[in-house]
Chains A and B, each alone.
Chain A
Amino acid sequence: MLKVVWSLSGNTMFTCKTLQLGPQAIKGLSKVSRILKSTSPALITPRKSYVQNFCLPGRERFSTTATDNAEGGNEENQNISVTFVDKDGEEKKIKVPIGMSMLEAAHENDIELEGACEGSLACSTCHVIVMDVEHYNKLEDPTDEENDMLDLAFGLTETSRLGCQVIARPELDGLRLAIPAATRNFAVDGYKPKPH
């Protein structure tokens, strides 16, 4: 999987319109990396990486480096299998590259998971429920910032996390994530979450 870290400096005009980078965008990025290679070789450092959110609101200059996955290697080891279960109980099994967040993986696979703040820990709309406790326990503890957002999530459970903070790792292979149903009682004041 390409780790794309953008490096566009100088006079290149580039407006970041969306975080969601699907396969098309990755192809586009390879193109850009070829252009960058020919114009500013100093910017390219070959190393493995993964697509990440580099778009900070209001910033029009940002730097990253586009690289190729020089190592190749077994494709199986680069992905894990994740199943999303939507609010109607429908399941969708997808392959998620190591290092990608569940929010991004959902969007790349047309799974309906909201992401209002596009992964910047400023909302709770990508809230997912980890269905297997063993997997939940393998995740790193949420930071204060994530917990602050989880406070506001609708339908919060004991194994809830923000999808943008769950990153694919080999030990999470077989992960099952439920997308919570909208509750009738959606007033923040009236909400009574389970004890934590």
Chain B
Amino acid sequence: MAIFRAMIARKFSSATVRSLRVCVVGSGPAGFYTAEKMLKAHEGAEVDIIDRLPTPFGLVRSGVAPDHPETKIVTNQFSRVARNERCSFFGNVTLGSSISLYELRQIYNVVVLAYGAESDRVLGIPGEELNGVHSAREFVWWYNGHPDFSKLTPDLKSTDTAIVLGQGNVALDVARILLKPPTELAVTDIASHALAALKTSSIRKVYLVGRRGPVQAACTAKELREILAIKDLYVNIKETDLLTTSEEEEEMKNNRIRRRVFELLSKASSSAAPHPSSGQRELHFTFFRKPDKFLESDDRSGHVAGLQFEKTTLQGRDGSGNQIAAGTGQHEDLKCGLVLKSIGYTSIPVEDLPFNFPKGTVPNTEGRVLSSDFAKPDYGLYVCGWLKRGPTGIIATNLYDAEETVASISEDLEKGKLTSASIKPGREGLLQLLERRKVQVVTFSDWEKIDSEEKRLGSLKGKPREKLTTWKDLLEVTTK
């Protein structure tokens, strides 16, 4: 295949000896920061980034909200990494089906798993499987045009109320997308199927429900400020929920993030109108409520009609010093027709990879994957990003995470810990294997065709891009 021949030609014409073959699995921030730092730290390193999607950048493309374009600017930096002569991007290559972890480790000296967390934590309460109950991850992927969820078709027309479980930034994102006037979303890169659904949405009330109080809310100031600023939005925060203990006051003195979030919530509560005016959209911050079960609709069998909550109070702290919500035995129901669970992501294990199921991460020490039996590093295999630390943090968190993982790799190389330091086939080996398996590899310049086409389609509609949202469309463009 043409790509393969071009790669071979490039290799033999290069003056540098490419002695270190690295494969990074996952092309989100963790993957790209790892690749960038590896290239910088090792002149002889050649890094291949693989991703199961034909499009790179992970959650920067599929997670960051459409009305946050500045947060996506980092893809410029990632693109520069991908265009580096010693780096290649190969999309539409899935770990576990296109190629196994075992095979990757035969082909590369170093494998870094940075494939994130593509599944959800579950509540494990009755009714979770009812129609109308979605994870926020699915909903976000739907409005961001992820090819796996373009057919989600959430029902936004048969209810006026949505409940979001969780109060982190993802919860605020989905609430904001549901409440923002669709005309404002029309000039973003939101998927057109989502824009169409939001234009005819009947949802006017959104509850953001947390098990604990405003001092424990996981969102940050920017996102909170933004949602509170939505034009003509009625915001409801109970004053009694804002009463704090002296311990919490002390905690906020030492925690800038929490303090500023609390100040924003207090201000919103005190300046809120006593009642919403007719036709006004509503946002309710509901604290101290733990979901007990989903309630099924009487009219629509199999469809959610609300949630039963148990009221909570803060009692004691867990091992990490976080406040715990304890049930009080009192219950309260909230009616709705749509539930979005925003309670956290979890990673998906693959064959031959040790996995910590309760945490949803790969056991590791400073990024070195630990072998299952003796908890010793399985040298040559590393992790970075959410797969390593769990699904928390911001894009920049991966900067420091990648630094740690790359430092571990460098140290292991220096100390001769990589037993298979022999010459590995690397890129050529990968492409040969994928060609035998008839995998349609998407290179970075193929992605650039998708990118141009999306921008072209977007310019016809006054959008920065019009995303291609099916596997078929994405792969077709790359063949032109």
Instruction: Say yes or no for A134: interface residue by CB 8 A criterion.
Output: no
Instruction: Say yes or no for B436: interface residue by CB 8 A criterion.
Output: no
Instruction: Say yes or no for A58: interface residue by CB 8 A criterion.
Output: yes
Chain B hits for A186, CB < 8 A: 393, 397, 400-401, 404
Instruction: Say yes or no for B372: interface residue by CB 8 A criterion.
Output: no
Instruction: Say yes or no for A18: interface residue by CB 8 A criterion.
Output: yes
B220 touching A151, Cβ below 8 Å: yes
Given contacts A116-B77, A117-B73, contact A59 B400 (CB under 8 A): no
A120 to B465, CA, bound (A): 20
Given contacts A116-B395, A149-B222, A188-B397, contact A122 B253 (CB under 8 A): no
A120 touching B70, Cβ below 8 Å: yes
Instruction: Say yes or no for B424: interface residue by CB 8 A criterion.
Output: no
A120 to B70, CA, bound (A): 6
**A128 CB, nearest partner CB in chain B, Å:** 14
Chain B hits for A118, CB < 8 A: 73, 76
**B355 CB, nearest partner CB in chain A, Å:** 20
Give how many B residues have a beta carbon under 8 Å from the other chain's beta carbons: 40
Q: Which residue from chain B places its CB closest to the CB of A152 in the assembled complex?
A: B394
A189 touching B68, Cβ below 8 Å: no
Instruction: Say yes or no for A69: interface residue by CB 8 A criterion.
Output: no
Instruction: Say yes or no for B72: interface residue by CB 8 A criterion.
Output: yes
Given contacts A122-B70, A152-B394, contact A114 B399 (CB under 8 A): yes
- The interface bits of chain B over 257-270 (1 if a CB of A lies within 8 angstroms of the residue's CB, else 0) are 10110000000000
A123 to B459, CA, bound (A): 27
- The interface bits of chain B over 221-247 (1 if a CB of A lies within 8 angstroms of the residue's CB, else 0) are 110010000000000000000000000
A17 to B222, CA, bound (A): 27
**Residue picked from A58, A116, A118, most chain B C-beta under 10 Å:** A116
A151 touching B221, Cβ below 8 Å: yes
8 Å CB interface, A159-196 against B: 182-184, 186-190, 192-193, 195-196
B464 touching A182, Cβ below 8 Å: no
Instruction: Say yes or no for A101: interface residue by CB 8 A criterion.
Output: no
Chain A hits for B255, CB < 8 A: 192-193
Q: Which residue from chain A places its CB closest to the CB of B226 in the assembled complex?
A: A148
Chain A hits for B394, CB < 8 A: 123, 152, 188
The residue that B396 contacts in the complex, of A59, A116, A121, with Cβ under 8 A, is A116
Q: Which residue from chain A places its CB closest to the CB of B78 in the assembled complex?
A: A116
A144 touching B225, Cβ below 8 Å: yes
A56 to B76, CA, bound (A): 12
Given contacts A116-B73, A182-B400, A188-B392, contact A57 B220 (CB under 8 A): no
B396 touching A123, Cβ below 8 Å: yes
Instruction: Say yes or no for B69: interface residue by CB 8 A criterion.
Output: yes
**A50 CB, nearest partner CB in chain B, Å:** 21
Instruction: Say yes or no for A154: interface residue by CB 8 A criterion.
Output: yes
Instruction: Say yes or no for A33: interface residue by CB 8 A criterion.
Output: no
Instruction: Say yes or no for A83: interface residue by CB 8 A criterion.
Output: no
Instruction: Say yes or no for B458: interface residue by CB 8 A criterion.
Output: yes
Instruction: Say yes or no for A60: interface residue by CB 8 A criterion.
Output: yes
A124 to B23, CA, bound (A): 28
B400 touching A145, Cβ below 8 Å: no
Instruction: Say yes or no for A78: interface residue by CB 8 A criterion.
Output: no
Instruction: Say yes or no for A156: interface residue by CB 8 A criterion.
Output: yes
Q: Which residue from chain B places its CB closest to the CB of A61 in the assembled complex?
A: B459
Chain A hits for B320, CB < 8 A: 190
Chain B hits for A192, CB < 8 A: 254-255
Q: Which residue from chain A places its CB closest to the CB of B396 in the assembled complex?
A: A125
The residue that B71 contacts in the complex, of A58, A123, A148, A154, with Cβ under 8 A, is A123
A59 to B189, CA, bound (A): 12
B260 touching A183, Cβ below 8 Å: no
Instruction: Say yes or no for A147: interface residue by CB 8 A criterion.
Output: yes
8 Å CB interface, A94-144 against B: 114, 116-118, 120-125, 144
Q: Which residue from chain B places its CB closest to the CB of A58 in the assembled complex?
A: B464
B256 touching A122, Cβ below 8 Å: no
B393 touching A187, Cβ below 8 Å: yes
A121 to B395, CA, bound (A): 14
Chain B hits for A188, CB < 8 A: 257, 392-394, 397
A117 to B76, CA, bound (A): 9
B392 touching A189, Cβ below 8 Å: yes
Instruction: Say yes or no for B467: interface residue by CB 8 A criterion.
Output: no
A112 to B253, CA, bound (A): 33
Q: Hey, which bits of chain A sit against chain B, CB under 8 A?
A: 17-18, 56-60, 114, 116-118, 120-125, 144-145, 147-149, 151-152, 154, 156, 182-184, 186-190, 192-193, 195-196
In the complex, besides A152-B220, A184-B404, 10 extra interface pairs with C-beta distance below 8 angstroms are A17-B76, A58-B189, A60-B459, A117-B71, A117-B74, A124-B396, A147-B221, A152-B257, A182-B399, A195-B256
Q: List 8 A-B contacts (CB under 8 A).
A: A58-B69, A58-B458, A117-B71, A123-B395, A144-B225, A182-B400, A193-B254, A196-B259
Q: Hey, which bits of chain B sit against chain A, CB under 8 A?
A: 68-74, 76-77, 189, 220-222, 225, 253-257, 259-260, 320, 389, 392-397, 399-401, 403-404, 455, 458-459, 463-465
